[in-house]
Structure 1
Amino acid sequence: MEKCFKLNEHGTTVKREVLAGLTTFLTMAYILAVNPNILGTVMNANGVFVATALASAIATFVMAFFANYPIGLSAGLGLNAYFAYTVCLGELAGEENPFTIALTAVFCEGIIFIVLSFFKFREQIINSIPQNLKFGISAGIGLFVAFIGMQNAHIIVANDATVVGLGSFSDLDMVLALVGLIIIAALVHYNVTGGVLIGIIVTWIIGMILQAAGVYTAANLFPDFSQGLQLGAISETAFKLNFGWAAKHLIQFIAITFSFLYVDLFDTVGTVVGVADKAGLLDKDGNLPRVGQVFMADAVGTTCGALLGTSTVTSFVESSAGVAAGGRTGLTAFTTGVMFLVSIVLSPLFLAIPSFATAPALIYVGMLMLMSIAKVKFDGDIADSVGAYLAVVMMPLAYSIATGIMFAVLAWVILKVVTKKAKDISPIMWVVFVLFALRIVALVANFQ
């Protein structure tokens, strides 16, 4: 373990890393239920479940052994909705088995990312982002994560009058999540090892007790093994690529591929910056060592995921929960990957973990990541200040890490030019600026 993951160098232990890996998995496990639900509208849901678990394990193992970072990977939220609703049911409506075309686009995106990783393009992007923006990105992700947790627990709900508002205290999901948050905070205060993980499990147990007493009736909180495993369903999703259609409709296919490419690129950049900052993995210049290996894990996961039958695989911001539990090395990621494999044969158990039990972990981790805002220098260069500010506010409000980075970079570059400091803009930042500008043009064209 020491030779492989350098535990002593990172000031951690096997026990701490394993507990952190379990914590990361439990906060990510919802994707094993959500992804089949979303992609199941156009594919075999059981096959998607197996494909998601396998692709997640493969990508996370690459992260563990190749990059040695405590980051878990799985099918990205947002990208799976784009896959199912926008591409398959929208742009490709009427085509036979449209999911095969979408999987082909995801596969090509993964290959492109593997090539870009060899040329260190994504590595240059992440190391070229100004340090003030990196801190803003980390803080913005913290707010975003907390917002997701509060939504999952019905603490924050949709509201016609004010867009969002406070949920009802008659909703036990909300009450249990708030109780879980207090439990986690208390355990962390008393330095209980694995406090976040214990908080998740205790909150779930409280829910099951309330259900057994007839108080909680919103959903079944107990694992149900009655339907069996249905592992053979992966034959309905694996190796279903359609290069024939791609060749006949090349322009449309390139446009679909680029959309996957864009969101995955900047979602991953934002997630890696945020998690690495929280884990103290950035160097004195604000750069992340071995970042190329991190992106390679993402690219390999996406490619394998497309072959197995799932949408784009990306680094998960929920990895910050494992970091908060003490994870610092690839052993955390390895543990998470093992749990994804175990989930294939114990799927009813993991799918039974309710969102109100994992939400407190996300809310608590959101607070920890938000602490990066204290490092943002708001009284310095106006471009740095506004760029960091937009990263913080746009991620949760636009519900997109990539969109938050887009606004931050565009504002930063424009203000550098306006304030006659264009010399501070690196060639890579100019490239990123142009990519975001083209993205806005594409969004305007689609809106019209």
Structure 2
Amino acid sequence: MEKCFKLKEHNTTVKQEVIAGLTTFLTMAYILAVNPNILSASGMSANAVFVATAIASAIATFFMAFLANYPIGLSAGLGLNAYFAYTVCLGELAGEEDPFRIALTAVFVEGIIFIILSFFKFREQIINSIPQNLKFGISAGIGLFVAFIGMQNARIIIANESTVVGLGSFNDLDMVLALVGLIIIAALVYYKVTGGVLIGILATWIIGIILQVAGVYVPAEGTSLIPDFSHGLQIGAVSQTAFKLNFGWAASHIIQFVAITFSFLYVDLFDTVGTVVGVADKAGLLDKDGNLPRVGKVFLSDAVGTTCGALLGTSTVTSFVESSAGVAAGGRTGLTALTTGVMFLVSLVLSPVFLAIPSFATAPALIYVGMLMVFSITKVKFDNGDIADSIGAYLALVMMPLSYSIATGIMFAILGWVILKVIEGKVKEISPVMWIVFALFVLRIAALITNFQ
């Protein structure tokens, strides 16, 4: 373990890394339930998607563990799966036979492109070219975004017609249990209990089970907090989606296919960049210049996961911001990722256990981790006399949670930074890579305007 993951160098232990890996998995495990639900809308088998998601997540996370040696878990990205099912399959490809096969082909091509870009270090150059102030703003913005996701999952924050969002109801036990879970985690962390975040998740779940047995808590129809093994294993279902690519359609509809592929590319690229920056900053993995060593291997792991996921039958695989929960639990090396990857494989056998863990139990971990990541805002130099740095960091901070997109937050931050640098007469401070990224964002906005017309 020491030779492979350099534990002493990172001031960590096997026990600490394993606990961190379990914590990351438990905060990510919801994707095993959510992804099949979303992708099944496109005509895919929910059981097949479950198996494909678990295996692809394990493969990508193993690459992260052994190739990059970072504590980052990967799985099918939220947002990208919704785009896959609702925008592409049910929208642009409506009426086509088995539209999911065409979408999987686009995801596969996206993965291949990213593998090629990894060898040219394009994504590595992007992440290392982002100014430090923006990186800290991105990290803090992701913290607010993660906390917002946690509060939504527990219905602490709900949709509100008059004010867009508002406070949930204290009559809702999901909300109450999540708040209790947050207090449990905070207390355990205060008393320096090893694995406090993981213990908090499990303790909140157990409280929920007790209340369900007592008849106080009534779960949603068709669900239960108590694992149900009555349906057995259905691993063979993956044959319904594995290797079902449709290159014939892609070749005969090349322009439409390229547009679909580019959309997957864009969101995945900047979601991953933002996630890696945020998690690495929280883990103290950035060097003195604000760069992340071996970042190219991080992106290669992401690309391999996406390619394998498309072949198995799931949407784009990307780095998960929930990895920050494992980092908060002490994860510093690839052993954390290895543990997370193993748990994805274990989930194939014990899926009823992991799928029974409710969102109100994992939400407190996300809210707590969000607080830790928001600390990065203290590193932003708002008073350095450069309005571009200040506005860029600020836009990253506010746009991520408010637009519900890491990629959109980065877009506004970089567009604002480049434009203000030009206004300040500091064009020489804009690197060629930042100009390329700026141009990509301008093209993205032009595409969005065209789509809305």
Q: What is the TM-score normalised by the length of structure 2?
A: 0.99
Structure 1 runs (4+) deviating above 2 angstroms are none
Which of 390, 414, 432 lines up with 2:419 in the alignment? 414
In 1, Cα distance between equivalents of 2:235 and 2:295: 35
Q: 8 Å contact 2:48–2:240 — kept in the other structure?
A: yes
Partner of 1:290: 294
In 2, Cα distance between equivalents of 1:40 and 1:229: 19
Give the alignment's Cα RMSD to 1 decimal. 0.4
Unmatched tracts of structure 1, length 5 or more: none
In 2, Cα distance between equivalents of 1:59 and 1:41: 25
CA distances 1:355-400 after superposition (whole Å, capped 9, x unpaired): 0000000000000000000000111210000000000000000000
Which of 421, 440, 443 lines up with 2:445 in the alignment? 440
SS in 1 for 2:287: coil
Partner of 1:136: 137
Do residues 267 (structure 1) and 271 (structure 2) align? yes
Partner of 1:90: 91
Partner of 1:188: 189
Q: Structure 2 matches for 1:37-76, cutoff 5 A?
A: 37-42=37-42, 43-76=44-77
Partner of 2:214: 213
Partner of 1:426: 431
In 2, Cα distance between equivalents of 1:130 and 1:231: 46
Do residues 81 (structure 1) and 82 (structure 2) align? yes
In 2, Cα distance between equivalents of 1:295 and 1:271: 11
In 2, Cα distance between equivalents of 1:193 and 1:385: 37
Which AA in structure 2 matches 1:311? Answer: S
Partner of 1:229: 233
In 1, Cα distance between equivalents of 2:216 and 2:230: 24
Partner of 2:400: 395
In 1, Cα distance between equivalents of 2:422 and 2:305: 38
**Cα offset, 1:104, TM superposition:** 0.2
**Cα offset, 1:194, TM superposition:** 0.3
In 2, Cα distance between equivalents of 1:48 and 1:223: 20
In 1, Cα distance between equivalents of 2:382 and 2:173: 40
SS in 2 for 1:164: strand
CA distances 1:26-56 after superposition (whole Å, capped 9, x unpaired): 0000000000000011201100000000000
Do residues 23 (structure 1) and 23 (structure 2) align? yes
SS in 2 for 1:224: coil
Partner of 1:376: 380
Unmatched tracts of structure 2, length 5 or more: none
CA distances 1:60-83 after superposition (whole Å, capped 9, x unpaired): 000000000000000000000000
In 2, Cα distance between equivalents of 1:368 and 1:241: 42
Which AA in structure 2 matches 1:331? Answer: L
Which AA in structure 1 matches 2:34? Answer: V
Which of 362, 370, 375 lines up with 1:366 in the alignment? 370
Q: 8 Å contact 2:137–2:397 — kept in the other structure?
A: yes
Partner of 2:303: 299
SS in 2 for 1:169: coil
Query: After the TM superposition, which of the residue ranges 218-227 and 343-352 deviates more from structure 2?
Result: 218-227
In 2, Cα distance between equivalents of 1:232 and 1:323: 34
Which AA in structure 1 matches 2:18? Answer: V
Which of 247, 253, 256 lines up with 1:249 in the alignment? 253
Do residues 345 (structure 1) and 360 (structure 2) align? no
SS in 1 for 2:41: coil
Partner of 2:116: 115
Which AA in structure 2 matches 1:201? Answer: L
In 1, Cα distance between equivalents of 2:332 and 2:277: 14
Q: What is the TM-score normalised by the length of structure 1?
A: 1.00
In 2, Cα distance between equivalents of 1:218 and 1:407: 40
Q: 8 Å contact 2:219–2:225 — kept in the other structure?
A: no
Do residues 3 (structure 1) and 3 (structure 2) align? yes
CA distances 1:299-333 after superposition (whole Å, capped 9, x unpaired): 00000000000000000000000000000000000
**Cα offset, 1:218, TM superposition:** 2.5
Do residues 164 (structure 1) and 165 (structure 2) align? yes
SS in 2 for 1:214: coil
In 1, Cα distance between equivalents of 2:257 and 2:147: 36
**Cα offset, 1:226, TM superposition:** 1.2
In 1, Cα distance between equivalents of 2:163 and 2:89: 33
SS in 2 for 1:136: helix
In 2, Cα distance between equivalents of 1:218 and 1:229: 24
Do residues 404 (structure 1) and 404 (structure 2) align? no
**Cα offset, 1:135, TM superposition:** 0.1
In 2, Cα distance between equivalents of 1:348 and 1:201: 15
SS in 2 for 1:227: coil
SS in 1 for 2:415: helix
Which AA in structure 1 matches 2:41? Answer: T
In 2, Cα distance between equivalents of 1:377 and 1:168: 39
**Cα offset, 1:225, TM superposition:** 1.0
In 1, Cα distance between equivalents of 2:11 and 2:360: 32
Which AA in structure 1 matches 2:391? Answer: V
Which AA in structure 1 matches 2:136? Answer: F
Do residues 149 (structure 1) and 153 (structure 2) align? no
Which AA in structure 2 matches 1:308? Answer: L
Which AA in structure 2 matches 1:335? Answer: T
In 2, Cα distance between equivalents of 1:58 and 1:12: 24
**Cα offset, 1:338, TM superposition:** 0.1
Q: 8 Å contact 2:74–2:317 — kept in the other structure?
A: yes
CA distances 1:387-432 after superposition (whole Å, capped 9, x unpaired): 0000000000000000000000000000000110111000000000
**Cα offset, 1:238, TM superposition:** 0.2
CA distances 1:212-258 after superposition (whole Å, capped 9, x unpaired): 10000033110011112211110000000000000000000000000
SS in 2 for 1:346: helix
Which of 298, 318, 322 lines up with 1:318 in the alignment? 322
